[in-house]
């Protein structure tokens, strides 16, 4: 007990917190009040800390925000926007009739080999198209008449000798066309032939006068035989039909090489010659033509004796097979 009392008499350094300068200072003190004051402060601080920890924690929530709160919506990138394709347009009644008419020409050799049944079908389709003519006054729309027109069908018997394959052996009829120059009021009819050695053409030049909203009067002035254009290669068929008999051309194929060499040597000489022109006179120098249907692709005309001519504009999709 004496030792314990002696120990209590020893000086003890205690710490206290000064409020004025907020610094810790060490002072020797023997007063038990300081100890109580210091312990009370610590207990008070621990109580405040516990109160802070016991407070409910702040909660966070996520919510959707409208476009108005974020400002105006940005325009989407044009390259990323898929453009809706427009539905294909349905063909008109005129387009359907035109397609049916052109399809009916298949295998008729421009009308030469058309059967009576096919001719009746063609006439019916032509009549329906004429009733829906989008250009009722063709001579008042000369710019639409202007250009090159390819003959697709005719009932004109005067052309049948040209269409017949047996008329000229080894020669095929490539094209029959009519070119109208509405500014100079001229018409040129042209027939192109192709043979194993060359191609050539026969054409007629004419002037025309407007006589009515549909009718023009044509006066032929001259005929022209074009300069033959020699081909670089010669294609000889196996046989050819002439006057109802087939002629075998196989033995002549051995001569092709020598003929081709000769043709090449004279090609420049022949090509430099001018075309042969001859005047046209007499009762056949004049004719008339009535255009009963006209649009940008198709033209239907009627001539002397009720003959029909169906022509398609050069470059038109109707000429595609």
Domains of the chain by start residue, with CATH: 93-242+274-319 (2.40.128.280)
Give the pLDDT confidence score for residue 304 in this predicted structure.
Answer: 80
Whole-angstrom distance, CA of residue 127 vs CA of residue 106: 19
Contacts of 220 (CB under 8 A, 6+ apart): 204, 205, 206, 280, 284, 285, 286, 287
Q: Residue 23: CA atoms inside 13 Å, Cβ hemisphere, count? A: 4
Give the pLDDT confidence score for residue 111 in this predicted structure.
Answer: 94
Is pTM beyond 0.85? Reply is no
CA angle 86, 90, 93 (to 5 degrees): 155
pLDDT digits 0-9 by tens, 128-171? 999 999 999 999 999 999 999 999 999 998 888 777 755 556 67
Give the pLDDT confidence score for residue 6 in this predicted structure.
Answer: 43
Can you give the three-state secondary structure of 56-83, one letter per residue? Answer: CCCCCCCCCCCHHHHCCCCCCCHHHCCC
Query: What is the DSSP secondary structure assignment for residue 56, as one 8-state letter?
Result: P
Whole-angstrom distance, CA of residue 311 vs CA of residue 294: 10
Low-confidence residues of the chain, pLDDT below 50?
1-43, 49, 53, 59-62, 64-69, 80
Whole-angstrom distance, CA of residue 106 vs CA of residue 83: 40
Give the pLDDT confidence score for residue 45 in this predicted structure.
Answer: 54
Phi, psi of 17 (to 5 degrees): -105, 125
Give the pLDDT confidence score for residue 47 in this predicted structure.
Answer: 53
Whole-angstrom distance, CA of residue 238 vs CA of residue 184: 47
Task: List the structure tokens of 258.
Answer: 């020598």
pLDDT digits 0-9 by tens, 285-321? 899 999 999 999 999 999 988 899 999 999 999 998 6
């Amino acid at each position: 007990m004496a030792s314990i009392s002696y120990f209590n008499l020893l000086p003890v350094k205690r710490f206290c917190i000064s409020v004025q300068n907020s610094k810790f200072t060490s002072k020797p003190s023997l007063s038990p009040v300081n100890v109580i004051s210091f312990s009370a402060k610590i207990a008070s601080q621990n109580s405040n800390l516990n109160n802070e920890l016991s407070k409910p924690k702040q909660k966070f929530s996520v919510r959707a925000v409208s476009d108005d709160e974020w400002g105006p919506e940005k325009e989407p990138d044009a390259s990323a926007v898929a453009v809706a394709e427009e539905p294909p347009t349905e063909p008109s009644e005129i387009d359907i009739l035109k397609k049916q008419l052109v399809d009916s020409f298949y295998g008729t050799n421009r009308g030469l080999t058309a059967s009576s049944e096919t001719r009746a079908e063609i006439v019916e389709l032509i009549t329906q198209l004429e009733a829906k003519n989008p250009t009722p006054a063709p001579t008042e729309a000369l710019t639409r008449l202007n250009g090159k027109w390819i003959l697709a069908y005719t009932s004109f018997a005067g052309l049948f000798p040209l269409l017949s394959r047996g008329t000229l052996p080894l020669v095929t009829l490539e094209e029959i066309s009519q070119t109208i120059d509405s500014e100079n009021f001229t018409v040129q009819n042209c027939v192109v032939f192709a043979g194993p050695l060359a191609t050539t053409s026969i054409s007629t030049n004419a002037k025309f006068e407007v006589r009515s909203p549909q009718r023009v009067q044509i006066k032929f002035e001259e005929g022209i035989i074009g300069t033959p254009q020699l081909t670089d290669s010669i294609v000889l068929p196996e046989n050819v039909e002439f006057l109802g008999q087939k002629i075998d051309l196989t033995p002549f194929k051995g001569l092709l090489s020598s003929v081709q060499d000769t043709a090449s040597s004279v090609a420049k000489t022949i090509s430099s010659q001018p075309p042969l022109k001859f005047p046209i006179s007499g009762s056949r120098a004049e004719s008339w033509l009535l255009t009963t249907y006209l649009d940008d692709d198709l033209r239907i005309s009627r001539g002397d004796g009720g003959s029909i001519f169906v022509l398609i504009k050069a470059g038109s999709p109707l000429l595609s097979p």
